[in-house]
Amino acid sequence: MNYVAPLRDMRFNLHELFDVSAHCERLGNGLDRELIDGVLEEAARYTGEVIAPLNRNSDEQGVTLENGEVTTPEGFVEAYRQYVDNGWASMTGPTEYGGQGFPQMVACNFHEMLMAASLSFRIYSGLTEGAVLALYKHGSDALKNAYLEKLVSGRWSGTMCLTEPQAGTDLALLRTKAEPQADGSYRVTGSKIFISGGEHDMSENIVHLVLARLPDAPAGVKGISLLLVPKFIANADGTPGERNALTCGAIEHKMGIKGAATCVMNFDGATGWIVGEPNQGLACMFTMMNDARFQVGLQGLGIAEQAYQGALAYARERLQSRALTGAAQPDKPADPIIVHPDVRRMLLTQKTLVEGSRMLAAYCARELDLEHGHPDAGARKAAGKRAALLIPIVKSFFTDMGQEVASLGVQVYGGHGYIREWGMEQLMRDSRITQLYEGTNGIQALDYIRRKLMGDGGAELRAIQDEFLGLCDELGALSDLVGPVRARLNQWRELTDEVLARVAQDPQEIGAVSVDFLQYSSYVLLAGLWLKAAGRARQALEAGSEEAPFYEAKLHSARFYVRRVLPRASSHREALLGGADCLMAMPEAQFAF
């Protein structure tokens, strides 16, 4: 399946909605529009010509494990060499360790391209950037000097080792141990499962960030430490040295992302070094996890874009039946299926969910950048609060959206969508994992309610609502859009108060309302962003833009979203107002069949 990066839409977000040039000036990184556009154009070439052609074969071939060594699909090693040699790996890395310091607001577009071209390929490099963040923020100078430059360059890759057979979401149950040694190192013993890129043949070394317990650690999550455990221990000159006491015991056989090695990793007294303070590993890991969750959201977005591109191309080419109003192309034996209203419904649903989510990705990336790079401490703190609120929405909504859009892609293809040779069913299989790893979407919804909404009594959420209500005031001339969006924003404010009242009275309500409230919030957020896009499109058209079809499409899309997709919010509202009692009243025994 071909992939063409949606550069025009990405530039619309960067330059016309969020003014990335002013953003970069605020961050002081020296990037300008010409450089940003040039980088993204080259990224589009690399992902379209080098990575996308690998995706089908990686699904057919998978990975192999022999004598503890993993071999990746054909073409992956050479594509990764280009990834490193051309500087893509170092794109977001800190400049003092050889990185280029690109902001997430720019880099997230390249990362979306990678996800769309081949999710399996991207998985090997994805967690390295999170490992860099965790080590840069919490590691000792000695660890930074020994490992960061290699990780930033991509010559060495990183993993995140949390999950154990008995400890998935509940990390309080983990058993991996770390025994202190006289030289300040630790001996790490235990098994981790579901480790993405835990073993492979693409990088010189693999640096594992492992959660473990010290001998005197308190029980529960307060007794978890983070350790750096490399496959090869670094020599004094920075080269890979002695092989550490860790092995890949097995690779998982999965329904999707078959070109990505998902490993069982066994640590048998492996040498490691603590990152951060003892028993503060979970806080250190969350530095990495927030980035990982944002990246997983981009995985859903990338797959959705690829599914939309495939569905659109097929709908334009596939001839079946005649238009309801009569032959649209009488010179052909039948009309292309894009003339049919129901096919249009599916394509427009795909398009508006994808483009709306891309706007939200840029919005969230801006806050992530400001959290780490704004010169003012107060602004950094404010951006951190906003980013923290948005991360569970991005992770869960984008991945649910990716699965829906991939499923709609299969539907547009009809029976051909169910056949492997077209590639659409692979997207549906590959996307399914995104709703599960880095915290299932149900866990994201709980986080959204418990830690984010209840944590500040809804203050940050109300600030977002106020922001978009202010936008409604600015764009009053777009009355057909402003009216329904304003009504939803006001309803969202009322629903926020209702949810806070319910969860305060009954803790079961936290779990009962969480998914529906997150979904409601997501649909309304996208409506606000579509209103923003419509305002910019109207402005461009009034100015006589030479790209009128592009801006007209934005207005058409905004109207479709508000009239045909936003009403989904009503069902989520009605569902969450149904209460927890109907969920919890039935005795467990009555679930039997």
The DSSP-derived string for 450-508 is IIIITTTTTHHHHHHHHHHHHHHHHTTT-HHHHHHHHHHHHHHHHHHHHHHHHHHH-TH
Per the listing, tokens 């049919």 go with 340
Beta bridge partners of 210: 161, 227
Instruction: Provide, for the chain, the percentages of residues in helix, strand and coil under a 3-state DSSP scheme, each rounded to the nearest 5.
Output: 65, 10, 25
Q: What is the pLDDT of residues 446-467, one digit of tens each?
A: 999 999 999 999 999 999 999 9
List, for residues 555-569, the tens digit of each pLDDT value: 999 999 999 999 999
**What are residue 434's phi and psi, to 5 degrees?**
-65, -25
What's the start-to-end Cα distance of the chain, in Å? 44
User: Backbone phi, then psi, for 386, in 5-degree steps?
Assistant: -65, -45
Q: Are strands 232-234 and 225-230 parallel, antiparallel or unpaired?
A: unpaired
Among the listed residues 149, 199, 305, 438, the single catalytic one is: 438
| pLDDT tops 90 at residue 236 | no
Entry pTM: 0.97
Instruction: Please check the confidence at residue 282 and state whether its pLDDT lies above 90.
Output: no
Average pLDDT estimate for 386-393:
97
What pLDDT does residue 221 have? 87
- Residue 468 within any structural domain of the chain: yes
What's the pLDDT band for 252 if we cut at 50, 70, 90?
very high
- Which band of pLDDT confidence, cut at 50, 70 and 90, is reported for residue 285? confident
For 167, the enclosing helix (H) or strand (E) is: none
Q: Is residue 574 part of a domain?
A: yes
pLDDT at residue 237 tops 90: no
Cα(227)–Cα(204) distance, rounded to whole angstroms?
20
**Active-site residue flag, 438:** yes
| For range 51-62, the mean pLDDT | 98
In which residue are the tokens 């149950």 written?
Answer: 173
Map residue 69 onto helix, strand or coil.
Answer: strand
pLDDT of residue 1 exceeding 90: no
Mean pLDDT of the 91-106 span: 97
Domain presence at residue 89: no
Tokens matching residue 289 = 């996890």
Range with the poorest average pLDDT among 105-109, 113-117, 219-223, 285-289: 285-289
* pLDDT tens figures, 513-533: 999 999 999 999 999 999 999
User: Is 522 part of any domain?
Assistant: yes
Q: Which helix (H) or strand (E) holds 229?
A: strand 225-230
Q: Do the beta carbons of residue 469 and residue 488 sit within 8 Å?
A: no
The residues near 532 (Cβ < 8 Å, ≥ 6 apart) are: 17, 359, 471
Which tokens in the block code for residue 593?
A: 């069949």
Residue span of the structural domain in which 552 resides: 456-581
Nearest-angstrom CA–CA distance, 263 and 192: 8
Please report the pLDDT score of residue 287 as a whole number.
81
CB 70 within 8 A of CB 200: yes
Say if 194 falls within a structural domain: no
Residue 502 resides in a domain: yes
Q: Could you count the other beta carbons within 10 Å of the beta carbon of residue 42?
A: 14
Quick: pLDDT tens for 489-505: 999 999 999 999 999 99
**CB-count exposure of residue 416 (10 Å: 0-12, 13-18, 19+):** middle
pLDDT score at 547:
98
Task: Quickly state the pLDDT bin for 169 (edges 50, 70, 90).
Answer: confident
Q: Which of 438, 181, 133 is nearest to 296 (CA)?
A: 438
| Token code pair at residue 493 | 């404010």
Task: Tell which residue, 135, 134, 161, has the closest CA to residue 147.
Answer: 135
Mutual angle of helices 508-542 and 548-560, in 10-degree steps: 150
Structure tokens at 340: 């049919």
Domain membership flag for residue 61: no
- Domain-embedded: residue 58: no
Half-sphere exposure of 269 (CA within 13 A, CB side): 1
| Helical residues (DSSP H) of 256-376, grouped into ranges | 281-317, 341-373
Determine contact, residues 53/402, Cβ cutoff 8 Å. no
State how many domains the chain has.
1
What is the Cα–Cα distance from 456 to 500, expressed in whole angstroms? 11
CB 266 within 8 A of CB 191: yes
pLDDT of 593: 82
Cβ–Cβ < 8 Å for 569, 523: yes
Residues 6+ apart with CB under 8 A from 556: none
Rg (alpha carbons) of the chain, rounded to whole number: 24
